[in-house]
Chains A and B, each alone.
Chain A
């Protein structure tokens, strides 16, 4: 497939936004159960939520560049019964709204205690709204990944690993940003977020490698024999029906030479996993905010490369019909 930058930015930016929000909420949840210290509402949770919302809006904005008719985008909420894309279109604004409300509750400080659990743990309004937002956040990971995983013709994508990778890579980059944010705020949660970021990056390395191994061994169901329905071991295309390009030759071929394609794979394997792990470990050890910010930026850059590779690696069966110009 031809990687579209609009979709690369959409999926990576909202992934960071979702991960950042999940990090904030995890921090708050731990503090309610008195495992971690309570953070300042306005400076920590509200500002963090604002950052998450900005990332989500940026992702949504980027997605409009993928559309031929962005002014009709509202129509895409119609077919949520059958289309994962439609479901994403509904869940993304819902999640954005929930994070916005969560941030506002913290910002205004109107956060009544709804009930007390075992007389010690106070469950306040932000915690309940935040739980709903977290659920929407995970649903959004599912919807985004299922857009790709549900197309069985694109066998490189049609695997549960796609959902696992989108969730883990988005969460890891979000926790990485949360680590830098907490360090910049001088919060005690820096190590907590950093630890989770390291753990998620390591697990994501395992699952992303698993999908690379799976895709390297993939056996494509379609062949020229099934494409034109003639059973013969040697079929060669002599003409595709036109000399210059068409939608079929532009949309489904990434066009990069083989060595660049392989270089991109190794680039993302380095940029997403070992490089930020080293940076974040040193950053946590030295308490260096700049290194933690660098860890996030390197990983995000790596994720852009990773997403490019994700699209480029998918081999569409229609390509069988466009092997030779003529």
Chain B
């Protein structure tokens, strides 16, 4: 069964918020209505966003690491927000596993947002309905777009290609391969929600060098060590000096 999702590589995310602005730009222009911004130019501006980038510091100085962490709906395979919805406005699509809200059925009771442990559903202050990431469902199937642009707006915008999009249940997809080969993991596995979105961990490239590896113990030139060392300024000649 198809399960479209995002795979987010924390190793390369630089926290530029391009995915946030691109998401807002695309989704606020859609036919489903704009994503309201209240008090945009005054005190306490607030607005609806499907995607946010947060920043965490891991470790204590000086051994700290800055982790930029994009967060949007994880399109859980067992979404807790769907069964609690009293109207059926919140649903998971059979064909591609995207969790969506029917804005015409939603009564704005906020119960689904209580059931979501990730806090990725937001009540739109203007439309008074629950909104969330749609995985750009109005983009990814749009045949008027060139095929390589049929991806969510956040994926298109990411300058470091930290966001992969694909069917995580198709073993040959780029997303599934990344999860499998690069240690993809899910958020808050303790709630049994089985998020479809995965995160790729930060990786350190370390090389371990032992002391004896710095000096070549069996260097054949050592046999010639008896020869006098020439001065540093002298030209070196093979078989005449040790160097």
A: residues with CB less than 8 A from B are 1, 66-70, 72-73, 75-79, 82-86, 89, 147, 150-154, 221-222, 224, 226-230, 232, 234-242, 244-248, 251-252, 316-319, 321-322, 326
Contact = CB atoms under 8 A, between A and B. Distances in A.
B99 to A, nearest CB: 15
A198 B179 CA distance: 60
A219 to B, nearest CB: 12
Give 3 nearest A-B pairs by CB, closest first. A68-B108, A318-B119, A68-B128
Contact of B56 (A70, A78, A238): A238
Contacts of A316: 114, 117, 119
A85 B58 contact: no
A317 B122 CA distance: 15
A145 B57 CA distance: 39
B123 interface: yes
Contacts of B47: 246
19 contacts: A68-B106, A68-B107, A68-B108, A69-B129, A75-B88, A77-B86, A78-B88, A79-B88, A84-B84, A85-B86, A151-B115, A153-B114, A153-B115, A222-B117, A229-B186, A230-B202, A235-B56, A247-B113, A319-B119
A66 B111 CA distance: 10
Interface in B182-204: 185-191, 199, 201-202
Interface string B38-81: 00000011111100111111111000001101010000000010
Nearest to A157: B114
User: What size tier do the contact residues of chain B reach?
Assistant: 35 or more
Contacts of A248: 119, 122
B6 interface: no
B83 A82 contact: yes
B42 to A, nearest CB: 10
B117 A76 contact: no
A153 B87 contact: no
Contact of B58 (A152, A235, A318): A235
Given A72-B105, A240-B52, A318-B119, 20 more contacts: A68-B106, A68-B109, A68-B128, A69-B106, A76-B107, A76-B109, A83-B85, A153-B80, A154-B114, A228-B67, A229-B199, A229-B201, A230-B56, A230-B201, A232-B58, A232-B59, A238-B55, A239-B54, A246-B49, A316-B114
Contacts of A319: 119
Contacts of B113: 247, 251
Given A153-B80, A237-B56, A251-B113, A244 B86 contact: no
B106 A1 contact: no
A317 B117 contact: yes
B59 A246 contact: no
B162 interface: no
Contact of A321 (B17, B105, B119): B119
B20 interface: yes
B110 interface: yes
A80 B123 CA distance: 23
B123 A317 contact: no
Contacts of A230: 56, 58, 67, 201-202
Interface of B: 17, 20, 44-49, 52-60, 66-67, 69, 71, 80, 82-89, 105-111, 113-119, 121-123, 127-129, 185-191, 199, 201-202
Contacts of A78: 86-88
A245 to B, nearest CB: 5
Interface centre among A68, A89, A222, A326 (most CB of B within 10 A): A68
A82 B46 CA distance: 33
A244 B41 CA distance: 12
A83 B117 contact: no
A316 to B, nearest CB: 7
A251 B121 CA distance: 11
A152 B193 CA distance: 11
A212 to B, nearest CB: 21
B186 A83 contact: no
B114 A83 contact: no
Contacts of A66: 109-110
Interface centre among A67, A226, A247 (most CB of B within 10 A): A247
Given A66-B109, A68-B107, A322-B119, A76 B114 contact: no
B114 A151 contact: yes
A84 B111 CA distance: 10
A233 to B, nearest CB: 9
Nearest to A318: B119
B20 A222 contact: no
Contacts of A239: 54-55
Contacts of B58: 230, 232, 234-235
Given A68-B128, A251-B123, A240 B109 contact: no
Contact of A245 (B44, B57, B60, B185): B44
Contact of A226 (B111, B129, B188): B188
Contacts of B123: 68, 247, 251
A72 B103 CA distance: 11
B129 to A, nearest CB: 6
A72 B119 contact: no
A195 to B, nearest CB: 38
Given A79-B88, A83-B83, A226-B188, A234 B106 contact: no
